[in-house]
Amino acid sequence: MNPFAFLRRKRLVRLFAALTALLALASCGGGGASSGGGEKVVNMAFTTAWGSFNPYYSASTTMYELGLYDKIFDKLVFTDMGGAEILPRAADSWENADGGYSAVFHLSEKASWSDGEKATAHDWVFTANLLADPNSAFSTRVFTHELAGTDESGVRVDGETFGAEALDDYTLKFAFKKPMDVEDFLLHYNRKFLVLPEHILGGADPAKILEADFWRKPIGSGPCVYVSQMTGSEMTLAPNQFYQFRDPENSGNWDKLILRVTDSASRVTPLLSGEIDFIELGNSINPDDKPVAESGGMTVRAGDIRNFFMEVLLNESGIPDPKIRRALHYAIDKEAVTEAAASVVGTPCYSYEMLNTDYYDPSLEFPRDVEKAKALLKEAGYDGRAYNFAFAAKRENIAVLLAQQWQEAGINVNMSIVDVATMFSGLSSGVYDIGLSGHSASAYSLWFESEFPANLTDAAYSKDPVRADYAERIAAAIDKEEKIALVKEYQRYLSEQTWFIPLYFAGEYWVEPTRVSGIRNSASLMCNDNVWEWRVE
Amino acid sequence: MARYLLKRILSAMLTMFFVTAIIYALLSMLQGSAMNAMGGSGGEMTAADYEAARRAFGLDMPVWLRYLHWLRDVLRWNLGESYRYGAPVGEIIGQRFFPSALLVGSGLLFAVLFGLPIGVMAAYRPGSVWDRISSFFALIGFTAPRFIICIAFIYIFSYRLRLFPVMGMYGNSSLGDLVGRLILPASIIAFGSMGYLIKQTRGACMDVFQEDYLKTARAKGLSEPEVILKHGVRTAIAPIMTQIMLEIPEIVGGSAITEKIFGWPGIGALMLDAIRNRDTPLIMGVTLVIAVTVLGANILLDLAYGLLDPRVTSR
Amino acid sequence: MIRAGFLKRFRNSKTAMLALRFLTLEALAVYLLPLVFHMDPVTSDVQAGFYAAPSAAHLFGTDGAARDLLARTLCGGQVSLLVGVAAPLISISVGLPLGLIAGYYRGIAESLVMRTADVFMSFPSILLSLILVTVIGPSLESAVAVIGIMGWSEIARLVYGNVLSIREKEYVDSALSIGRSDFQILKDEILPGVLSPVFVSFSFRSGSAILQESGLSFLGAGIRPPQASWGGIISAAQDISVLTRMPWVWVPSGVLIVLTVIAFHFVGEGMRDALDPKMKL
């Protein structure tokens, strides 16, 4: 017998039903109890609450929020297999042009905003213009610094031709400052580049765009339409009837997609209780929870891709000496940390590059060396100060191990448990010196470039000319061998500077959803969900 | 009566002013972090941006002035916007109010429905097995931490006995399901406040049951259940109401942890998240709502008490 | 203050004596055992494994960072007992003088102190403590300070009430008419009368201070890692695997919290009954 049936059991429920129904009716009367009425509902769990609907202005820009934007706004393409496979979404096809200096996207002619208006190349150009606007109130420009006619930070330069252009209603062209592989472009920026409607936001002043009512009740050309939300806890979405992949025969059959914020300490609980059908980012669970999930009758399999990258973030302004940063690296026993966090599905790592790619360089690996760490500290004149180490509650076990290992080398830390957003803001404002962060890696050789600066903006990392030069040369390299050689050099440079400490790559245990079929787990990890194909029993 | 009520309301408003002022002052020491949560997104914030944002949020004003502005906005029915969620605080709280009211309301109802008879029965036969069992439960009720009760209840009733689901408020959106999900957390709230309730009821009834007029009542031929109901329960109501009145803040605080553990989308869990996120406007909004609820409930109970026992209002 | 009959009456209460013995034993255990057996609550034993079941090497098993749970439970006990003693002391040192002043001088002092007490008592203390701890920054010291300060209002009320009733008695008036200073009257005539209830409430406050600390630690806002505390240990049970499959992680600390709080409660009741059974507390 299924020992976790209790999570769904309703035996005593009827007994109390009469009593409490009375109460439920008596108190306020509103909300709460609405009848199901044969509606097909998919319940999806988010482990962290989303902030605003604005993909270009949010308090935390975490993967969790990207997962929400993905539902409402459309992206150019759909990336699967940890980013290795690129499939059409708003764009049917794409190619390089002008000898790599530009990319052309042939957009779907069926794409439409959820209010029925056609979505065209002009909307994409409009969005790029908003991002590059000198007065833009958005907090990010995502990719516009790659486009011709902008300065280094991506601001449009007066008198130059801006590199975003609609060749016709359904052909979008981006002109780059230097050659760039269109697939690299997509792997790198697609996830964070979501199209906004010109017909609604077109008249708004870019400096005051945050004030638009639009962000309360957004209209997108993505697969879902916003219906309602209970801020910080629940959001209801309906299918966008006009979505380009939607056809009555083959596409998804759900009527409502409910996003629920659940505590990450209990990922399996809501799955077992049937409250949740699918957990964002691939329905993965903690390895420790595998036995519980299996005894609850769920099918659990180990992920095929180890793309969950765990790193120690070092704040350059708090720890300016690279020797101390390297000492922190040498003092870590990655085997133990990996064991504590990911047991059998984790592998210790020394770079951000995924283990199975051509870019991975085993010569970067080194064993733990406490003596070397001590020597480095001595050389650097470490004064025994305690660094402020912040991390989310769910990473406490890793943090505790790290702190002990550093202690063995003579490095002191003060630990604070904070939420993820507080950690990042504290790191960028200098309150914290050390943090812990996980990322979904992709096959793109420079994926980490876009992750790292977003977290630690004041780090020398983003301003370092050598690093920037490497990044540019790698992005521009078309020859595979040359690229591999460059990426390896670049990784060596990063390892010497140690702006961050790679800990491990983990695959995850995935739970097969029981009620919903057609989910692509490997794409979900990249904050892509093919919700338009999901089918409920 | 009307004068008494007016006096109570004025003093409640004064208390509310102080509660919000104290918490506002405390939170002002956190503002820096809230600013970061706001600007830390893409994070390309320069010193000039920071100053501009500070001015935009009015953070360049002294604390007391900001507090007065906040108060003015509250009187205009505007609680501001949450830093973390970017939505109006009033709207966020509005959505969370019903779940909390349902949970705390059912919890209190359970507490009274079970606590009252248990206390009366215990007083009826002091020293009996029933009395011992009930005082043991009362003891656990007011000594065990709320989170331990939650964990123990989940372990026993959901995992071992498999009676109730564990998480959240909304399952398949049917009423039966809602009730099923309500029972466990509501019982925990009831369990927590039942301890003192049983103790109080028992104490009050003991006094009554020993008084002479009960003997008279019995002598007059009233049956035992009638005696218990008429004299016992009726006498117990006043002290129970005092007890509930005293306990309301703790019930609200305790329900926060219960809501958090059970993933119940209520005000208390919202407050815990808001504090963790350092979301000042939201914390202030919830503070106000909790203070209004606590003080309002106190006044209402006080009035009801006065109706039962007119001496109170004339003191 | 402690009259001769007090100890005798207290000893006659079986539950109170049992509770006192338990607390003494517990205090000895949590402070001495880690010293005697050189227990280490903060170092991971990676060889033993993470969340390892109880074994000869780790009698209570290990936690998610492979730390010995027996050592952590004992050190968590040190934290709880420390909070249980230190926090009420702070409450009393704030609440007692304020209550005396409010009750003795009446007037402005009375309304100022008692209004403020109302403010503190009309807001859930766990939420207020959480805000305070977030502002100060979590640590053992701030938890003790916050919980101590949060408890002042109850003590002040208690003292205030007692002072009022003592004031009405004649000997204060006679003292006044002799022309003794306020301070002397407070010290000699009033203070002795209010000390007994304060003394009793100390024990009750200890229990609730321990409850508060464990609640804060459970929410991750009490002590700082890697220090151990019962609430922090139990918070691991929010994970369903730990809750259902590893009861050794959370059961000992859970049982100990409950027993400790109950013991303080019984000691308080014992003291109350020994001092004055009619005392309302």
Query: B220-240 pLDDT, tens per residue?
Result: 776 777 766 666 677 667 777
Percent of chain B whose pLDDT exceeds 70: 77
Least confident of A378-382, A502-506, C218-222: C218-222
Joined together, the tokens standing for residue A410 give: 């003579």
Q: Which domain holds residue B228?
A: 93-276
Shared-domain flag, residues B130 and B234 = yes
Is C66 in the A-facing interface, judged by CB distances under 8 Å?
A: yes
List, for residues B55-87, the tens digit of each pLDDT value.
666 666 778 888 888 888 888 888 888 877 777
Is C192 in the A-facing interface, judged by CB distances under 8 Å?
A: no
Does the predicted interface ipTM exceed a cut of 0.90? no
A150-162 average pLDDT score? 88
A52 and A217 Cβ atoms separated by less than 8 Å? no
Pairing status of strand A91-97 against strand A77-80: unpaired
Answer whether B19 sits within 8 Å of C119, measured CB to CB: yes
Q: Which of A339, A343, A403 sits opposite C46 (nearest CB)?
A: A339
Shared-domain flag, residues B99 and B135 = yes
Chains that touch A (3 or more CB pairs under 8 A): B, C
Is A304 in the C-facing interface, judged by CB distances under 8 Å?
A: no
B43-55 average pLDDT score? 52
Residue-by-residue DSSP string for A363-405: GG-----HHHHHHHHHHHT---PEEEEEE-GGGHHHHHHHHHH
List, for residues C132-191, the tens digit of each pLDDT value.
888 887 888 999 999 999 999 989 989 998 888 887 776 666 766 677 777 777 777 788
Is A399 in the C-facing interface, judged by CB distances under 8 Å?
A: yes
B42 and A61 Cβ atoms separated by less than 8 Å? yes
Shared-domain flag, residues B207 and B68 = no
Is B287 within the bounds of a domain? no
Is B282 within the bounds of a domain? no
Contacts of B164 in chain A (CB under 8 A): 6, 9, 12-13
A332 and A370 Cβ atoms separated by less than 8 Å? no
Answer whether B183 sits within 8 Å of A234, measured CB to CB: no
B86 and A52 Cβ atoms separated by less than 8 Å? yes
Contacts of B191 in chain C (CB under 8 A): none
pLDDT band at B45 (very low <50, low <70, confident <90, very high): very low
Superfamily per CATH, domain C6-274:
MetI-like (1.10.3720.10)
For chain A, what is the mean pLDDT? 82
Answer whether C126 sits within 8 Å of B18, measured CB to CB: no
Cβ burial, residue B252 (10 Å; 0-12/13-18/19+): buried
Chains that touch B (3 or more CB pairs under 8 A): A, C
Answer whether C125 sits within 8 Å of B253, measured CB to CB: yes
Confidence at residue B46, expressed as pLDDT on a 0 to 100 scale: 45
Answer whether B36 sits within 8 Å of A21, measured CB to CB: no
List, for residues A245-289, the tens digit of each pLDDT value.
887 776 788 888 988 887 655 677 778 777 788 888 777 777 777
Percent of chain A whose pLDDT exceeds 90: 28
pLDDT band at B167 (very low <50, low <70, confident <90, very high): low
Residue in chain B lying closest to C217 (CA): B147
Shared-domain flag, residues B151 and B258 = yes
A345-352 average pLDDT score? 88
Q: Out of B75, B104, B127, pick the residue that ends a domain.
A: B75
> Of A112 and A82, which is predicted with more confidence?
A112
Phi first, then psi: give them for residue A135, nearest 5 degrees: -95, 5
Shared-domain flag, residues B131 and B43 = no
Residue in chain C lying closest to B144 (CA): C258
Cβ neighbours for A511, distance < 8 A, ≥ 6 positions apart: A268, A271, A279, A283, A284, A285, A293, A298, A299, A300
Shared-domain flag, residues B32 and B119 = no
Shared-domain flag, residues B65 and B195 = no
Shared-domain flag, residues B113 and B254 = yes
Helix axes A480-497, A465-476, angle to 10 degrees: 160
Scanning B104-123 for CB atoms below 8 A from A yields 105-106, 109
Is B283 within the bounds of a domain? no
Q: Cis link prior to C226 (omega < 30° from 0)?
A: yes
> Of A272 and B11, which is predicted with more confidence?
B11
Helix (H, G, I), strand (E, B) or coil at B141: helix
Shared-domain flag, residues B106 and B63 = no
Is B30 in the A-facing interface, judged by CB distances under 8 Å?
A: no
> Of A183 and A387, which is predicted with more confidence?
A387
Shared-domain flag, residues B9 and B115 = no
Helix axes B2-28, B280-308, angle to 10 degrees: 160
What amino acid occupies position A9?
R
Is B42 within the bounds of a domain? yes
Burial C215-246 (b: 16+ CB within 10 A, else e): bbbbbbbbbbbbbbbbbbbbbbbbbbbbbbbb
Shared-domain flag, residues B135 and B227 = yes
Is B296 within the bounds of a domain? no
Is A264 in the B-facing interface, judged by CB distances under 8 Å?
A: no
Is B46 in the A-facing interface, judged by CB distances under 8 Å?
A: no
In total, how many domains does chain B have? 2
Nearest to B29 by CA among C143, C137, A417: C137
Residues in chain A: 537
In the predicted model, is pLDDT for residue A23 greater than 50? no
In order along chain C (281 residues), what is the average pLDDT of each group of 10 residues? 70 88 94 87 81 85 86 92 95 93 86 86 87 85 92 90 80 70 78 84 91 89 84 84 85 93 91 75 59
Percent of chain B whose pLDDT exceeds 90: 5
CA distances from C101 to A418, C122, C192 (A): 41, 22, 15
List, for residues A387-423, the tens digit of each pLDDT value.
999 888 778 889 999 999 999 999 999 888 877 767 7
Radius of gyration of chain A (CA): 24
Cβ neighbours for C277, distance < 8 A, ≥ 6 positions apart: none
CATH number of the domain to which B231 belongs: 1.10.3720.10
A438-448 average pLDDT score? 78
Query: Using CA atoms, how far apart are residues A400 and A333, in angstroms rounded to an integer?
Result: 12
Neighbours of B127 (CB within 10 A): 8
Contacts of B155 in chain C (CB under 8 A): 243-244, 247
| Residue B34 to chain C, least CA–CA distance (Å) | 12
Shared-domain flag, residues B7 and B117 = no
Q: Which of A289, A336, A343 sits opposite C46 (nearest CB)?
A: A336
A162-167 average pLDDT score? 92
Is A422 in the C-facing interface, judged by CB distances under 8 Å?
A: no
